Structure formats: C-alpha cells, structure tokens
Structure 1
Amino acid sequence: VARLLDPHPKTFGGKIRQLWRALQLEWHLSKREILTLYLNRAPFGGTLQGIGAASWAYLGKSPANLSYSEAAMLAVLPQAPSRLRPDRWPERAEAARN
C-alpha cells in the first residue's frame, strides 16, 4: 500500500519515506484494513482502480458475488494489470490465476 501512496521513489530519501509510511500503516491499521485499502486503490488494468470497478467491468457483478476462481483471477491483476487483463488476454489471466 505504501507503494500506491508513493509509487516510484527514486532517491534514498524517497525510499525512507516509503518505508516510514509502510511502518505507520502497520502500526495503525489491522492486516484486514491494509488489505481493504490496497484492494480499493490498486490498479486493475486500463483506467480501472479498485476491486469493485474491476469486478463490474470484467465480470459484471459485485465483489461480494464472486466465485473463488473469479476472485483469484482478480487478485493477480495488480501484479501486471496490462499483461493480465481478462478482456484482452483471457488465457494469460487464467494461467496467472492457476
């Protein structure tokens, strides 16, 4: 999540700031809250940001109604959103999910 807040620190000071933000998140939020924050802000390909937008755009349903395999497929998208988009590369998305 700290990378989402400061995505590309190029200096040593930037790396220290990113580390400090990550530590603050761990001190003040539960693991579940951190995961929720990440899933609501992560890129999912194209202009989609957040699990809700990706769920509706790719699968036409809310995140609460996803099957385990659909949730697993969406979970891998932030790793490489452009290369794993299920609307453009269904075979890549399925391979990454498995």
Structure 2
Amino acid sequence: MGCTTTDRFGQDRKVVWTGGRRRYGPRARTPIDSVDHCRGAEPFAPGGPHPAVTAYATVSYGKALTEPHGRVHWAGSETAGEWAGTLNGAVLTGRRAAERVIA
C-alpha cells in the first residue's frame, strides 16, 4: 500500500468528500475535520485487513488449523492462508470444509 505522500491523501480526501456531498447533500459540503490513516505504517497490523494475523502468519501451525481432526473440520478466515481475516477467506475455507465433509 503506497501511502507515504500527502498528495495521495489529498486525492483520497477529495474522492471521499465528493462522495459524501453526493450522498448527504449540502450539509456535507464543509466537513469539520478529516483524518488520514495509513494501515501500512501500523507496527502490529502492517497493511493487512486482519488486525492480528498477517498473510501466511500461520505457516508454522497452519496445517493443524486446516486438516480435519477426526470428525471436526475447521473453517474460518483465520485458516485461510493469504486470505486470513477476510470474508473471502471465510467463504473459501467454508467450501473447503464442506467438500471434505461430503467426500
């Protein structure tokens, strides 16, 4: 995520404010304040959508989270590898678990 220049923030702010005016009307023409935040600069969640687990952070224990344990089949975004912490990851792992159950 490139968010190191104030020019980028200025462009983003313009897009957000324009959308706000269209959606909320004249009262949104003069915002009181705006805060720009770069998730890529976060030391504990470096740019990823998941606040605790970055992509492939579970490499050491990922196998234990994805393989069935007896009749228990794991699913959820935390077991999704590169899609950890996303809705897409949750859907993909749900499908994976369902396919294993019916196999």
Q: Compute the TM-score of the two structures, normalised by the length of structure 2.
A: 0.26
The structure having more radius of gyration, on CA atoms, is 2
Q: Compute the TM-score of the two structures, normalised by the length of structure 1.
A: 0.26
Larger RCO (CA within 8 A; separation ≥ 6): 1
